[in-house]
Amino acid sequence: MGRHSCCYKQKLRKGLWSPEEDEKLMNHITKHGHGCWSSVPKLAGLQRCGKSCRLRWINYLRPDLKRGAFSQDEEDLIIELHAVLGNRWSQIAAQLPGRTDNEIKNLWNSCIKKKLRQKGIDPNTHKPLAEVDRSKATPTMSTDRTSESSDVDPSSGVALHNLSHLLSETAESSELLPVKVTKPRTQAPGLTRLKVPPKELFLDQLTTGHENLPSCRSSAPIPNFPFQQLLCYNNDFSSMDAGSRNSLWYNQNESSSSTISTVMPPVSPSALSTSMGLNLPPENPRHGGTGIGNAPFYWDGSNPSSSGSTGSSGSNSMGFEPQSTTSILENSVFPWTDIGQEKDTRVHSVEELKWPDLLHGTFAEATTAMQNQSQSLYDDVIKAESQFNMEGICASWFQNQQPQQQLQAASDIIDLNTSSSVKDPTVSWKRQLWPYEWQKKG
């Protein structure tokens, strides 16, 4: 292999994207979809290779991206997911709606790794550093791809247990393991360079039909992560209030109140990998064997069968019977009943809300109190920046899309066993309410 074939062509631009390029790409994809990425640059009038266009779209221009600093909940979730998934950034990103794998990878490498080390935790193995040092002194056979592999240690169950202990301990007595508080930049990244999209662009996209909305495999809604209370970093998990516990979990699908989860019994690592579509061979020393079984797992199958929106059987792919809805609710398993909305309004600062957030909050949830709140918060922004009324268009489109969205969400979950990415190319745009440009350079 080598360079992508299109990159051999001369006169292809590299490096940072200009606003003009972004606009061209955005306009093109909004109107025509991306189709074959290799043909996008030509059709859009860009001197870029298709691969570059794809990356730009996925990591930057995609309307459903959430920008701004990661919340603590998001960081916690990333750590938990990394403990299970290792450096499978795309799979981790799939559990954090609006975040890209690249973004998460960067966060991990630049920030989270450091924090974990400062807490005495090895970010690669999620074990205490002392323990890792000891094991290095007495090396064992390993089939890790690299010595610096960040993949999960084979004994991740033990590791998680230890990490859980450490984290809960340090949370209470941080002076024992002082954590240097990294100075935040004067403004959150992504905020300093915000540029309001040109009105022409909005108008153009507003008046463009969405029947040809582009697809993006990696941005397709991913089935909700099948674990609820996946890894209990706090030993005393039950002491957490429902809000904080569930705050890590929020629904990707706006219509999720109809989605019923299933609490699953502890399972084996092999079952885990199978169900998650991780393609982890049971003998894989990084994931299989003795590890995860040591940790208490509870499943949130996000089983569409009980949602009423599909006609599938009452048990999930693992053959477990779902708990009753009542018991689940009583156990506060649902993160997205009310908590999600509360969280949204709490977590998002005004500055952090982007067009997609704004539109979701303003138009998509038309009957909620949150809508009123968001509306009042961002009315000024809308009026000042766009100077025209988007509400009707977006609302009507959302109404058109929502039923499909629900069904798709359900079928996506069914597909959980088969793949980490959803193949239906139409899915992603069902979630995308607004073509926009969120240009950081400005």
1 counts as binding DNA under rule CB under 7 A: yes
Q: Which of 27, 30, 87, 164 binds DNA (CB under 7 A)?
A: 87
Q: Report the C-alpha gap between 165 and 169 in whole angstroms.
A: 6
x/- track of binding to DNA for residues 189-208 (CB under 7 A): xx-xx---------------
In angstroms, the Cα distances linking 244 to 97, 213, 346 are 18, 37, 12
Q: Scan for tokens 């056979």, then name that residue.
A: 141
Nearer to DNA, 4 or 383 (CB): 4
392 counts as binding DNA under rule CB under 7 A: no
* Shortest CB 105 distance to DNA, Å: 6
| Half-sphere exposure (Cβ direction) of 371: Cα atoms closer than 13 Å | 12
Single-letter residue type at 67: R
Single-letter residue type at 408: Q
110 counts as binding DNA under rule CB under 7 A: yes
The answer to whether 396 and 433 have CB atoms below 8 angstroms apart is: no
Q: Which of 17, 334, 397, 434 binds DNA (CB under 7 A)?
A: 17
Task: Find the part of the chain contacting DNA (CB under 7 A) among 74-82, 85-93, 159-167, 259-267.
Answer: 85-93
Q: Which of 20, 42, 45, 106 binds DNA (CB under 7 A)?
A: 106
Nearer to DNA, 218 or 317 (CB): 218
Binding to DNA (CB under 7 A) within 409-428 occurs at 419-421, 423
Query: Which tokens in the block code for residue 128?
Result: 């205490």
Nearer to DNA, 108 or 398 (CB): 108
Query: Which tokens in the block code for residue 315?
Result: 């048990």
Task: Find the part of the chain contacting DNA (CB under 7 A) among 2-10, 23-31, 75-83, 240-248.
Answer: 2-10
Kindly tell me the burial class for residue 159, based on how many C-beta atoms sit within 10 Å of its own C-beta (0-12, 13-18, 19 or more): buried
19 counts as binding DNA under rule CB under 7 A: no
Q: Which of 111, 129, 242, 329 binds DNA (CB under 7 A)?
A: 111
x/- track of binding to DNA for residues 112-141 (CB under 7 A): --x---------------------------
* Shortest CB 243 distance to DNA, Å: 27
Which element (helix H / strand E) includes 300?
strand 299-300
Q: Report the C-alpha gap between 306 and 319 in whole angstroms.
A: 14
The answer to whether 87 and 375 have CB atoms below 8 angstroms apart is: no
- C-alpha radius of gyration, the chain, whole number: 22
Judged by CB under 7 A, the number of residues near DNA is: 62
The answer to whether 222 and 422 have CB atoms below 8 angstroms apart is: yes
Task: Find the part of the chain contacting DNA (CB under 7 A) among 15-23, 75-83, 162-170, 298-306.
Answer: 15-23
Question: 404: closest CA among 230, 265, 232, 210?
Answer: 210
Q: Report the C-alpha gap between 201 and 436 in whole angstroms.
A: 8
Q: Report the C-alpha gap between 399 and 381 in whole angstroms.
A: 24
Q: Which of 10, 14, 211, 367 binds DNA (CB under 7 A)?
A: 14
Question: 143: closest CA among 290, 292, 283?
Answer: 283
Task: Find the part of the chain contacting DNA (CB under 7 A) among 76-84, 146-154, 195-203, 391-399.
Answer: 146-154
400 counts as binding DNA under rule CB under 7 A: no
Task: Find the part of the chain contacting DNA (CB under 7 A) among 103-111, 195-203, 325-333, 365-373.
Answer: 103-111
What are 344's strand-pairing partners? none
Q: Which of 16, 141, 181, 384 binds DNA (CB under 7 A)?
A: 16
Residue numbers at the binding site for DNA (CB under 7 A): 1-7, 13-17, 34-38, 48, 50-52, 54-56, 58-60, 87-91, 101-103, 105-107, 109-111, 114, 148-150, 182-183, 185-187, 189-190, 192-193, 216-218, 419-421, 423, 440
